[in-house]
Structure 1
């Protein structure tokens, strides 16, 4: 063996190390090759922080079909919370709701024209069985008409910070199913559209603002109108619930959707081992390019398996952490000249396995609290917020969140009280500073004589 052979071996070894180091900490949002999701649009996010872990055409505006109902659910749950709607409130079907409910080619529970139904059973039919007429009924209860409710949907989407969306009805049907009675101002062939990112953001807000939605969404079977001749067994269309055909451990939501225009869609969420993930697939297909119920669940399973296997929740910043070199802030007009600061609580974050040391804490001080010289003004109370700490990857890689880049942050607070100094102390400091400045000036002048 000669010198050149050893050099080649060393070079090869170094190349392998560099290769694996690049991919060990690679941004999973770029890991399309690892997942190869067969769908027109897809996204995988952390359900607690909204951190994006994988995406494919996530900003393409596509059909969403009955995933629409997540917005109707959000508005209903918000109305109930604010006391605008009550669960036991009764409703008699309008002519439109009655007619659509009789169409068994659509997902529906048949409603009687003279029947009385409370909001709770209509909500169950919508969330579990994706009942379209029941959804329109809820829209009429809240908005007075579905036309008004559609305006509310688009307004709410804007307030939630969604982009790339258009709602034309409350249920996700194609407007042709309304037989000319679709909401005013919408086209006869219109259908609701959103990007995968917008769908994920809606789901993120839904499960975090109203976590009880998962109790209903995770119900595998329920009887509508139990004890009456109108009873109908509702089997949840989310067949990934653990009790159903494509059962997945921890799956407890959220909404399927299917139309000719949208294809086979699914927003899933599953939680286990202290982790929760949200996935979205739009127009999912199998390996042969054919869409189907199984395809949307298979593609969802790929992302869920990838997330649970490759990500862990780690403590990136402990409670009462002090950023190196920024453990104190100068204070003016106080009995002390500085105050110790630290994080109010810890920062826990979902990270790629082994990647936790790639993140560094960054202190951001509240500009309203500090002067132009970066000093706080006494008095300062222990526990008073003075800024926040966020975390950034050391390698400069961009971390994407559904709700902004600095979504992961924790308050930074004063660790002790700093009382305001009395007038005499402040006066003496002023005098001291004055003579100090005078002496400094004299010293500089004298020093200049000898240059």
Structure 2
């Protein structure tokens, strides 16, 4: 009996060891175990450079729902900047917009046909309350029709470097909700599609090109009263992570959050593009297809906690930094034969905890300024830019950047530290003569050595 018990014990122990080994070594979806995210796709990005800090299924296309409105905001703010519109321009309400705005099952402020609204009033209702009727009204104002506006959206997406996208309307609603008025050339049941990476790209361009968007996106509560009898519509921002959000939603508030856009449809589930700033570091997050209204904020919190707890902006190399062995450049035809070079500014980047040693300095010289021999040609000015200093990351968590220009944001100019005047003709002649006879002597010396 003791042998049987002993055998069972040994078998159980071996089974436990085998299972443990499988759990440790079995490959898992990148990042999923690390954060335990309950979302179909997600991404976390440094808002300054576009450096990707975390990603989960970043390139699968999913419906962004009302996160679509970030593109509408971009095109509106661009039109304001280009003086094609002003904030005080008045907008007439079409039959189509009127019908959509009366649908209380959608996020809306009820608009009236006998009232004209300013661009700014409609913009606030879109950015704060995700008002769909207001969004379409703005699209019609900018482009003449939502059909034309959708073309603008897709053109701008291409211009901004988005790769996995399709815009079929200005709001992010399913076309079925548009009462048969969906833009021409789009299907009746179609919905906008974006990847998490491209949603982050859109947000990155929006808040960097038009940072004023956050001033409106961060308003927790406002009344919409124009053309409405009684007290008006209470516009409670759908972003429950705003620090000043009122009431029971305070449980989801997160310090530093000031944007950007929520979204939800039956197909999209619940999604959210957020941004928060702490200690001079701003992050952009995207979560797509979470299970509930507030799950999107819980998952976003995981991303922000990870980002702010694990990454800090570090000065990798100070101003006047010189790479050992690469601190001098040869100079041809100058009074001096070389000049010192160093970084013009300090180089900073977001560094993950305990990974500072995984960054190595890298000098890139401007080859257009150099001779075939790799030298500068005198005269050389003090402070002349000769290239740039960047770094090479040797770690494993290298997800790259959102944009092709990402790496260029993490470099600083390298300049000369002194002036080198051009040598006069007499000095150059003596050098040429010395070089001539030096070459002859080298040839003779090599020839004599060859005899022996």
Normalized against structure 2, the TM-score is what?
A: 0.87
Q: Indicate the residue corresponding to 1:276 in structure 2.
A: 282
**Aligned equivalents of 2:202, 2:380: Cα separation in 1:** 40
**Aligned equivalents of 1:382, 1:159: Cα separation in 2:** 39
**Aligned equivalents of 2:386, 2:399: Cα separation in 1:** 25
**Aligned equivalents of 2:141, 2:64: Cα separation in 1:** 23
Contact residue 123 and residue 134 of structure 1 kept, 8 A: yes
**Matching residue within 231, 251, 265 for 1:259:** 265
Structure 1 pair 396–256 and aligned structure 2 pair: CA distance change class (3 A): closer
For residue 399 of structure 1, report the CA deviation from its aligned partner.
Answer: 4.7
Structure 1 pair 242–396 and aligned structure 2 pair: CA distance change class (3 A): closer
**Aligned equivalents of 2:200, 2:268: Cα separation in 1:** 16
Deviations 1:212-236 (A, max 9, x none): 1111111001122369637322111
How do residues 185-264 of structure 1 correspond to structure 2 at under 5 angstroms? 185-225=185-225, 229=229, 231-244=232-245, 245=249, 246-264=252-270
Contact residue 30 and residue 54 of structure 1 kept, 8 A: no
**Aligned equivalents of 2:430, 2:138: Cα separation in 1:** 71
- Root-mean-square deviation over aligned CA pairs: 1.9
Deviations 1:109-132 (A, max 9, x none): 111112211111111111111111
Q: Indicate the residue corresponding to 1:441 in structure 2.
A: 443
Q: Indicate the residue corresponding to 1:52 in structure 2.
A: 52
The 10-residue stretch of structure 1 (353-362 or 62-71) with the greater mean CA deviation from structure 2: 353-362
For residue 308 of structure 1, report the CA deviation from its aligned partner.
Answer: 1.5
Q: Indicate the residue corresponding to 1:339 in structure 2.
A: 339
Deviations 1:151-174 (A, max 9, x none): 111111111111111111111111
Q: What runs of 5+ residues in structure 2 fail to find an aligned partner?
A: 1-28
Contact residue 111 and residue 227 of structure 2 kept, 8 A: no
Q: Indicate the residue corresponding to 1:416 in structure 2.
A: 418
Q: Indicate the residue corresponding to 2:131 in structure 1.
A: 131
For residue 205 of structure 1, report the CA deviation from its aligned partner.
Answer: 1.4
The 10-residue stretch of structure 1 (440-449 or 245-254) with the greater mean CA deviation from structure 2: 440-449
Partner-residue secondary structure (3-state), 1:39: coil
Normalized against structure 1, the TM-score is what?
A: 0.88
Paired positions, count = 416
**Aligned equivalents of 1:107, 1:227: Cα separation in 2:** 18
Contact residue 115 and residue 227 of structure 2 kept, 8 A: no
The 10-residue stretch of structure 1 (215-224 or 72-81) with the greater mean CA deviation from structure 2: 72-81
Contact residue 54 and residue 399 of structure 2 kept, 8 A: no
Partner-residue secondary structure (3-state), 2:197: helix
**Aligned equivalents of 2:425, 2:85: Cα separation in 1:** 59
Deviations 1:166-186 (A, max 9, x none): 111111111111222111111
For residue 420 of structure 1, report the CA deviation from its aligned partner.
Answer: 3.0
Q: What runs of 5+ residues in structure 1 fail to find an aligned partner?
A: 1-28, 285-290
